Structure 1
């Protein structure tokens, strides 16, 4: 009885335990299924389709491969919003990233005199130390260079090296500059010493820039000090135009040009903005005077500082002249003093013989002085002045003395000769009434400069300037390319020979003229990458031939340096007997092989693997040779045993 009760109780508890276990299993499974379903629903709502969800009891596992770290974080956060975040187990992976896009490498170079700062990001493989060394060489000392560059381990971009070479080239010419360089582009902002210096630098940099580099130049020049402050506006049969135009501000310039255009001048007329204006009312005075001249109908108006000269066209009605001049005198600011002239009509019964002095300058540089001078001393002075300006061998004098000339004639003649010296070719005619300057020039500012000289020497006396700017005469635009420089070296040398003393690297006296001409050309060419190569024949020991060729190439480089050629971008290399151009078994062949060559080197972006692109410049008959057969002499004069001969 008792046993059956115990058995019943035990069975009951066992059944209850089993029932509880089954219930617990089903409860856990329900919790797992609900958790998985709710997390999956949440992920789908968030648009996360790469993640899967599993559950094990109360733990929820999120798995899958996320495209990036941010996507992985979003998935785990979304799951933590459905179930307790402590129950979420992160089993996700992050996809391997694609190749990382390299950053934009660039360098900003800031130069203020002898101080330079380098700022930017450069490739780790780039020779940063060489850049700093080059910059230090430009400014004079490495302690003046602030290195603020960072590096990144990415390949060197194409055109990076070329851009950096152009940037350092610009740095040499511009002591106050900001230069930004990146692969394929260089931007330069700088202040130059003068407008002429700006034109020279622009021409050099544009000539040095490879076609693959986008060069942007923003060069400015300080305002020149104009003395005298000059303006001259002419209206005649050739039209309305400025011989010279100066302004003190952009507003004054715009006002003056607007008045000139209203009088019929070309819209392309220019005006120099400078310092030294005699009055802040310059723009008002000039525009008012130009408008008055237009109302008269012709003639010229000239400002030299505060002095104003208005010369009406011959034949202007006196009534109109008087009316306009009266209004102009009232309208001009108080600072300015007006001198107005109405020329008298010519006397038909008067002496028709010309009272004038004429000086002409031919394109070949020949100068002829003709006409009248007021004394023998004036004749001697004019001749001496011309010979000093144009060269004593180029001047021909045929002027005669006439003591019945107007006062100040000699001053007018010398002023005319100074104006003529500013032209490439042309003529100056001095008459009692005016000075006329005609010709061609390569200086785009010649009109203004000539007007300034004449105003300074003659005040407000009448003068007429008709000077044409010819681009091919502009020395700042005639800088040859490096390739053209090398070709011109070949033309300079022609069939001549550069000779050395036998068995040595000493140039003999006959080399002077050739080197002088080459030096003059290279000064124009600027800093081009030039290699001066020495070559020998095969006579003598190979090691001694190599050394002799090196010494001779270096001797040529030293001679160019002594002639003040900038040789920082040059190198001298001896090749010995390695590169013959003719048969060494004949005397003629050996003489051809003994040579100096100039070669232009254009390194590729990857300098370690690229070969130089060279443009050989053979010297002499195709080479600069040593006329005495100095390689054989060196073999005989050295340790010339038969064992040493090739």
Structure 2
């Protein structure tokens, strides 16, 4: 207790001091110096500046992060995503179309700022609220095959499309890079795809872009005439309401060798082949030909590969020279010129004309001129050796005459078998070691030229090669002249007598759309397509009929046709309607299995709504159970509109209890003479009193279609 009181005394004494008085023994009080005040102020200012700098840095990082994340999401197509910042934290908002899109946006943003700084405030749209995608296909076709890119509806139509294109692709095959989405097929999709596939058949080098309401075609053709024909044909066959955009080019062909052959004989002046590098060059050549005596219309091909800009000037000079001689031939093969004057030309005239040409031709050209010698008695006694090859209209080839040695004879026979077919060639040649030099080369060239004809003959003698016959191509004579000039140069003369027959042209000989339908329905009248009772399974007995229809379809694959199924009135309307469409689809599937392109075919069921006979009799019901082909699109005329109004789409889930045969219209049921009726192209249009089935359930309308 004592010690504690002693310690408290100084404290108590201090309490007794007056206010402001210094304690005893303490130093006097001093005011703070100005240096201390400045230091404190500097400290406070530094702290404030540091705080401001930190705030500025955070805001700068925030702005840069928002900009970086926004740019990345926008570049990746995620424009739906919103980006906001709160200090170093980045908030992503918005409604993602799918969960995958939300996750992708989150991943892209995390790559920019780090996943730890992200706040996910995004929502995912209800799939029921999403708009259906824009279905489209881009088809690329070239020598390497066919490629498919795009988005198509989920379903069997995708596999059917690839199967259809398999026959066109050849060895290159079909490359499928399409994706599929489970959404309803948009209106017009099937007809647009069918039109695009039909167009692809005639365009081996093309790109076709298909959407439900439009088709864009970019292609390359071999000539301006083919370009015009294809454009006209596509515009004519385009379905009504479909937007068609065409970009078809016709680049000039490369002509090698660049060939022109002109001759004057007892038949008059004419071209066997004519080539020019431009319209101006062609006009100059044709003008010179007219002055030389040409009166018929001449086709002169404009192409690439001219050996010199002086081509037309040299040709005009050559034509005038031959006209001056009066008879003979002149051949231009690139820069080589072969002038062969007839034996009726006088030597003095020949020397004068050749001298003028040699003095005035452009330096790039080389002229070889020959005056055919007049035959003498010795030549008349000894027959010249000859080789002949004849090609019949049925494809049979007969080889006769002389060949120099056994090795050459084998080479000629093997070449003929490879070109015309082993079973088609009959060789009856003999060996003659005295044949002139280059004989085998001339024989092989003549055989190759004969292959350009539909039927005809090729003959080879020491001084001349003759090719005569009929071709299914208007350019066959020019092709043969170019071939012989390329193979033989100016070493041999040749004569061509080639006639073009339009009836043999595979393009001009194709049936019209109306003829296609008439022929197919005639085949159905002769033999109906039968089915198992109450089902869409084609009976085995109908295989022959389907084979005949497939053979007819080979020339009609680009014709838009409807395959219509019809039933009798037994069973419920809805069931009959569904069964009739399933049977029409089965017919298309059977044709596809026979390697027929079916992109232009549309399956449609009419059920019992379009009878052609009385359903009260068995014969009438048999007549009403049938399959009919009908034109659709622009080729159908007014009948298409009438038949389109015939029936609303309808369906059922079960098969009808009807008979088992469906096919082309058979005998009438009224007990008449039983004569087979003419095949019908279009069914009779309905009336307001025609019974109409109930609407089909959604999604069933396209069932069974390829």
Change (3 A) 1:380 1:535: farther
Q: Contact 1:595–1:623 (CA<8 Å) still a contact in 2?
A: no
1:272-308: per-residue Cα shift (whole Å, max 9, x none)?
1110111121111111122222222211111111111
**1:555 matches 2:586:** yes
Residue of structure 2 equivalent to 1:401: 431
The answer to whether structure 1 residue 198 and structure 2 residue 230 are counterparts is: no
- Shift of residue 609, structure 1, vs aligned partner: 7.6
Measure, in 2, the Cα distance between the counterparts of 1:310 and 1:605. Answer: 58
**Where does residue 72 of structure 2 map in the other structure?**
none
Q: 1:353 to 1:567 in 2, by over 3 A?
A: same
Tell me how far apart the structure 1 counterparts of residues 610 and 313 of structure 2 sit (CA, whole Å).
Answer: 73
Once residues 645 and 408 of structure 2 are traced to their aligned partners in structure 1, the CA distance between those partners, rounded to angstroms, is: 61
**Alpha-carbon distance in 1 for matches of 2:488, 2:405:** 20
Contact 1:204/1:526 (CA < 8 Å) preserved in 2? Answer: no
- Counterpart residue number, 2:99: none
Judge conservation of contact 2:625–2:663 (CA < 8 Å) in 1.
Answer: no
Distance in 1 separating the partners of 2:432 and 2:540:
52
Distance in 2 (CA, whole Å) between partners of 1:348 and 1:247 is: 44
Matched, 1:611 2:639: no
- Name which of 403, 411, 429 aligns with 1:373: 403
Unaligned runs of 5+ in 1: 1-131, 145-163, 179-187, 625-646
Residue 532 of structure 2 is aligned to residue 529 of structure 1: no
1:238 aligned to 2:238? no
What is the rounded CA distance, in whole Å, between the counterparts of 2:418 and 2:324 in structure 1? 45
Aligned to 1:333: 362
What are the within-5 Å matches in structure 2 for residues 139-288 of structure 1?
Answer: 192-195=220-223, 197-198=226-227, 201=230, 204-205=233-234, 208=237, 221-266=250-295, 268-288=297-317
SS at match of 2:555: helix
Instruction: Confirm or deny: 8 A CA contact 2:198 2:557 kept in the other structure.
Output: no
What does 1:3-42 align with in structure 2 at a 5 Å threshold? Answer: none
**Judging changes above 3 Å, is the alpha-carbon distance between structure 1 residues 503 and 528 closer, same or farther for their aligned structure 2 residues?**
same
User: Which residue in 2 is equivalent to 1:343?
Assistant: 372
Deviation at 1:500, TM superposition (A): 4.9
Distance in 1 between residues matched to 2:198 and 2:564, nearest whole Å: 27
Q: Secondary structure at the match of 2:378?
A: coil
Give per-residue Cα distances to partners, 1:349-377, cap 9 Å, x unaligned: 23443522222233333333332233344
Superposed, 1:14-93 pairs within 5 Å as none
Contact 2:525–2:663 under 8 Å retained in 1: no
Question: Hey, what's the Cα distance between the residues in 2 that align with 1:508 and 1:443?
Answer: 43
- The separation in 1 between residues aligned to 2:447 and 2:556, in whole angstroms, is 32
Give 2:332's match in structure 1, choosing from 303, 321, 329.
303
SS in 1 for 2:398: strand
Counterpart of 1:479 in structure 2 is: 510
Aligned partner of 1:294 in structure 2 is: 323
Matches within 5 A, 1:405-484: 405-460=435-490, 461-484=492-515
Q: 1:202 & 1:496 partners in 2: Cα distance?
A: 38
Work out the number of aligned pairs and report it: 462
Paired residue secondary structure (1:241): strand
Whether the 8 Å contact between 2:199 and 2:234 is mirrored in structure 1 is no
| Conservation of the 8 A alpha-carbon contact between 2:194 and 2:599 | no
What is the TM-score when the length of structure 1 is the normalising length?
0.61
- Residue aligned with 1:280, SS: coil
In 2, Cα distance between the equivalents of 1:142 and 1:607? 35
Task: Tell me: CA distance 1:383–1:292, structure 2 relative to 1, closer, same or farther (3 Å).
Answer: same
> 1:70 matched to which residue of 2?
none
C-alpha distance in structure 1 between counterparts of 2:247 and 2:294, whole Å? 29
Structure 1 SS opposite 2:446: helix
Secondary structure of the residue aligned to 1:524 is coil
> Does the 8 A contact of 2:391 with 2:456 survive in 1?
yes
Query: TM-score, normalization: structure 2?
Result: 0.56
Distance 2:596 2:532 in 1: 24
Match of 2:388 in 1: 358
Distance 1:208 1:428, change over 3 A: farther
Residue 228 of structure 1: how far off its partner (Å): 0.8
The CA distance in 1 between the partners of 2:533 and 2:408, in whole Å, is 57
> Deviations 1:73-111 (Å, cap 9, x if unpaired)?
xxxxxxxxxxxxxxxxxxxxxxxxxxxxxxxxxxxxxxx
Q: Secondary structure at the match of 1:611?
A: helix
Give CA-to-partner distance per residue, 1:45-89, whole Å, 9 cap, x none.
Answer: xxxxxxxxxxxxxxxxxxxxxxxxxxxxxxxxxxxxxxxxxxxxx
Deviations 1:572-603 (A, max 9, x none): 12344555545667766555444322122358
Q: Secondary structure at the match of 1:368?
A: strand
Partners of 1:494 and 1:394 in 2: CA distance: 37
Q: Which residue of 2 aligns with 1:572?
A: 603
Q: 1:597 to 1:392 in 2, by over 3 A?
A: farther
Separation of aligned partners in 2, 1:334 and 1:295? 22
| Structure-1 separation of matches of 2:207 and 2:219 | 7
